Structure 1
Amino acid sequence: MAAYSWMEKLWEWADEHHIDALHLPRNEEELAGLTELTLIGYDLTALPKEIGDLSQLTQLHLEDRNLTALPKEIGKLQHLRTLILEDNSLTALPDQIGDLHNLTTLMLGDNQLTALPKEIGKLAKLEALDLHGNRLTTLPKEIGGLHSLTTLTLGKNDLTALPKEIGKLRHLEALDLRRNRLTALPNEIGELGSLGYLVCRNNELSELPSEIGQLGNLTVLDLGGNQLTAVPKEIGQLGRLTILVLENNRLTAVPEGISALKHLTKLRLKNNLL
């Protein structure tokens, strides 16, 4: 049984936390071939390093208010495609998160992350990244390496700026930045040619770059609850825009160019200085 000592350790840990065989098999063959593991509400504070020996895992879902850290061995899960770690108390991620080369979905919402390791930029197959409800103040420039990313959710953090490398996310379709502390958007935002959904409401934006007019596929633009006194005339180039939200700003005039938005179906301008 020496060859399976990691299994014995996992079983001992599972017994200690009352994790039944339905969730973590007690059969050697079943455990070795386990592809999905979901553990929710088991009062876990940590994971054993042997979690990394579940080499066939394609989906790992851990949700527990007391989980504060991940073992570095998480990086050994080379078949992992979906990693859901929402609603925990994670304060940091191990650098080895970047070794999960087949990961397509990473859900980290409602944790206590203050920073991301630069290695996250190595997740070249990642399509969806959710970081809402954390304590992030900055993003690493390496985030520009997420070339397959289509959805990026960053709402309810403490971001004051975005790295210019955000413009390298050429496949990004949805970007949610609500409830941060952003005072400006980088000019490179205009390079997101696939972007269809951009939400920046409840930040501290005082101006927008003219490059926002380059977002030719944008259909939804929500800028409500900022400090905008004007909007660049290039907004009139957003030919596919259907929803434009500018309520709760400091606009003194209806933005020039809005009349050119032929597909606009909803325009919100209330609570400005019009």
Structure 2
Amino acid sequence: MSKLLVKARKGHGHVANVTPQNAGWTYVGFDLHRLAPGQSVSGETGDREACLVFVTGKGKATAGGQELGLLGERMSPFDGKPWSVYMPEGSDWSVTAETELELAVCTAPGLGGGLPVRVIAPEDLGQETRGKGTNTRYVTNILPEGEPADSLLVVEVITPGGHTSSYPPHKHDRDNLPAESYLEETYYHRLNPPQGFAFQRVYTDDRSLDEAMAVEDGDVVLVPKGYHPCAACHGYDLYYLNVMAGPKRTWKFHNAVEHEWLVK
């Protein structure tokens, strides 16, 4: 199995854990908690900032000593926009599930920005359609660079069955602004119906990294560098939640030269 593919554990609890230490990189952290009604999870951001994303289900949340109330709405990641919570470094938080709940915890280094805790409601989120033909996909910007944060960029994408996404292949692995930014990235994948699978390739120009993976419902893919296109198989829609972070909080990507004709 590829070293870039993280298989989430089945059942309830802390089912996926990506840290800078176990990923072998510097910035991005990603955790996934799957809770039954009545179960709780809590944590502290320490010297990192965090974005809690209610992927599915509802739960009562507190953060930074504030009662945030009952958050969450959709019961499938393919049905509407998510609720989320942004927290700066030095925050404690907790969530108690009212329904079956899937909670993503996205983290990156805090830079002392002193930003407040804030709830990000579905109506606050911008959506866009990217691509054309069988490269069409639907993007929801949860924490884009136009919204305040220190390091984190968080977005979710739905790719219809039979379509490609993160395509034409692009990369963001050089700190070479304004042409390209360095950003580590995780992809958390879900499939609809859940028994499906999709494909993701992560590769560099010199092929020193070249991994092609079949991704199933609940898998996490690490993108430390290189191009990282996805393909959703016929009959199965693909959702993914992206977390990105690097030395500068901006998304400037470079298309693979041999495939750039696809966007001209």
Higher RCO (C-alpha 8 Å, min separation 6): 2
The structure where helix makes up a greater share of residues is 1
Same fold (TM over 0.5): no
Larger-gyration structure (1/2): 1
| TM norm structure 2 | 0.25
